Chains A and B, each alone.
Chain A
Amino acid sequence: MKRIKDQTYYELLEVDRGSSTEEIRKAYRREKEIFSSDSVAIYSLLEPEELNRINSLMDGAYRVLTDEKLRSEYNRKLDGLEGKAFSGEPLGSSDIRETRPALKEPVGISFPNGFRFTGSSLKGIRESMGIELKQISQKTKINRESLEYLEEERFENLPALVYVRGFIMEYAKALDLDPHRVADSYLQSLHQWEKDRKG
């Protein structure tokens, strides 16, 4: 949690230390846009003199980081400062914390404990991901009708339990969900239905 004046040039531009000149140029343009005097996003946040100060800090960061010689000098200075905290070991690029990790699609999303994976909640999840039933069918090789029965929980139309378990696990995998957890949760409704049917 550093104040702007204490931030490193990399932190100021929100880039990591391994960034290329092109990445730094892009980041600089983005930051300059955010902190321009007519930027709506920071409306009312800063006094004009603060804004000037931030902009000149950004300019300095850009000047140093896009000049090979100045940048390596600056890096040495940083290593000297951070070296103490890292007990003198050289900083590899893997040690450098990324300030803004880019996240890809929802791989391995974790649902809160006790979340119930039912036909309708799975349908909701699928729809929110913008995935069509057709795509699931192609991926899992399960026909679309059966998938519909799964989502609508029309258990009477589905095959025996062991197949349903397989189906639902495939379905879960297609959505990058934990197949075992989804199947366990889903099959609870099926068991309940069987119990009710037998009276």
Chain B
Amino acid sequence: MAFFPTDQIEGTKARKGPRSIWTIGGGKGGSGKTFIAVNLGICLSRFNEEVVLIDTDLGGANIHTLLGLSFPQRTLSDFINKRVGGIRDVVVNTDIPNLGLVVGAQDLLTAANPKEPLKWKLIRHINSLDVDYIILDLGAGNSFNVLDFFLMSENEILVVTPEPTCIENTYRFVKSAFFRKVKRVVSHFGVKEIIEMAMDQRNERGIKTPLDIIELAGEIDKSIGLRLERELERFRPKLIVNQVRTKSDVDIGLSMQSAFLKYFGIALDYLGYIVYDNDVWQSIQRRKPLVLEFPQSRASKCINEITLKLITDKPFLFSSEDEANQRSDLL
């Protein structure tokens, strides 16, 4: 069943494209990106907003499973291979009002070298979908495919669990994302080369942070340096700490915020945390979304709160003291 009614003429908004896109990434597999995408989507849809979830995890799409659905008849493949007219034709209904779903495009993976033009076409078409919100669930890793999808929104959301492995991947992911972002905006050959070099962790010039790049670029051409500095100021990913068990796990978000600002020059927004909750595991086992199956659970409350923060323009900096007061009842 199609998500958009075929005779949608009356009441059609003059809008072209979604009001807002949220992209959910973070490098590490298993940190809860899909779980968070689905539950944020449901919370949003309950505000009477039209939401479309897009599963861009090309190899391992499984949003449908978390929603208790079987693999949809229509997928992005049908769009890519021109079996349907437009991307809106591959948005399928979920059982939840206002919530549509688009799944996977293995085709993008088949070529050893990802097909760039295809990816950009996809990004362009996603940007033209007439709904209120689009939530993109990204795959793991920091391949260009993942990074380009991540960067297509103004609301780039990072999911991290309080473990060294996941934190390590997050720093690497954010760094790669920034380098990818600026590489697209500069055309100076020498600066492009430096950025290219920086993508390699152990590069010979010792480039480690966005601030290093800006300094080197500024030495080549002052205006490029300033341009990159502006890009850095505008780059404000948001952070969710998932599977929080203790107060010090909550603080990891604050600490990462501080470290990102000091060392990378990136002002991260700490959106909030989701407590480790047995109900989450239960809901996944039952293939029923948490916020529907256990709306009163502590994790559901966390997700509700995060949704509300996301749809408002509120800046998300916490002070430790405020956090301390808020967190006590959930942990």
The segment from B54-62, B63-71, B176-184, B299-307 found at the interface with A is B299-307
Contact B319 A43 (CB under 8 A): no
Contact B19 A112 (CB under 8 A): yes
Interface string of A102-132 (1 = CB under 8 A from B): 1110100111101110101100110111100
Docked Cα-Cα span, A34 to B263, in Å, equals: 12
The segment from B43-51, B80-88, B190-198, B282-290 found at the interface with A is B43-51
The residue of chain A having its C-beta at the shortest distance from the C-beta of B163 within the complex is: A40
* Interface check B312, CB cutoff 8 A: yes
A195 contacts across to B, CB distance below 8 A: none
Contact B47 A125 (CB under 8 A): yes
* Interface check A181, CB cutoff 8 A: no
Docked Cα-Cα span, A130 to B312, in Å, equals: 16
The residue of chain B having its C-beta at the shortest distance from the C-beta of A121 within the complex is: B47
* Interface check A91, CB cutoff 8 A: no
The residue of chain A having its C-beta at the shortest distance from the C-beta of B229 within the complex is: A1
Total interface residues in chain A, CB < 8 Å: 43
Contact B318 A103 (CB under 8 A): yes
* Interface check B168, CB cutoff 8 A: yes
Q: Looking at the complex, which one of A44, A118, A129 makes contact with B171 (CB distance below 8 Å)?
A: A44
Contact B322 A103 (CB under 8 A): yes
* Interface check A42, CB cutoff 8 A: yes
Interface string of B223-241 (1 = CB under 8 A from A): 0000001001100000000
A1 contacts across to B, CB distance below 8 A: 211, 214, 229, 232-233, 265
CB distance from A123 to the nearest CB of B (A): 8
Given contacts A102-B319, A124-B43, contact A31 B162 (CB under 8 A): no
* Interface check A97, CB cutoff 8 A: no
The residue of chain A having its C-beta at the shortest distance from the C-beta of B262 within the complex is: A4
* Interface check A41, CB cutoff 8 A: yes
Docked Cα-Cα span, A32 to B203, in Å, equals: 29
A124 contacts across to B, CB distance below 8 A: 43, 46-47, 304, 308
CB distance from B266 to the nearest CB of A (A): 9
Interface string of A7-33 (1 = CB under 8 A from B): 100001010000000000000001101
The residue of chain B having its C-beta at the shortest distance from the C-beta of A113 within the complex is: B19
From B19, B233, B259, B262, name the one whose CB has the most chain A CB atoms within 10 angstroms: B262
* Interface check B122, CB cutoff 8 A: no
CB pairs A–B below 8 angstroms (27 shown): A1-B214, A1-B229, A3-B211, A4-B263, A33-B255, A34-B258, A40-B252, A42-B255, A44-B171, A100-B317, A102-B321, A102-B322, A103-B319, A104-B322, A109-B308, A109-B314, A110-B314, A111-B311, A111-B312, A112-B311, A116-B47, A116-B48, A121-B49, A124-B46, A125-B47, A127-B304, A128-B304
Instruction: Given contacts A7-B262, A42-B255, list 17 more A-B pairs with CB under 8 A.
Output: A3-B211, A30-B320, A40-B162, A41-B167, A41-B255, A41-B259, A42-B256, A43-B168, A45-B259, A102-B321, A102-B322, A106-B312, A109-B308, A118-B48, A120-B47, A129-B308, A130-B305
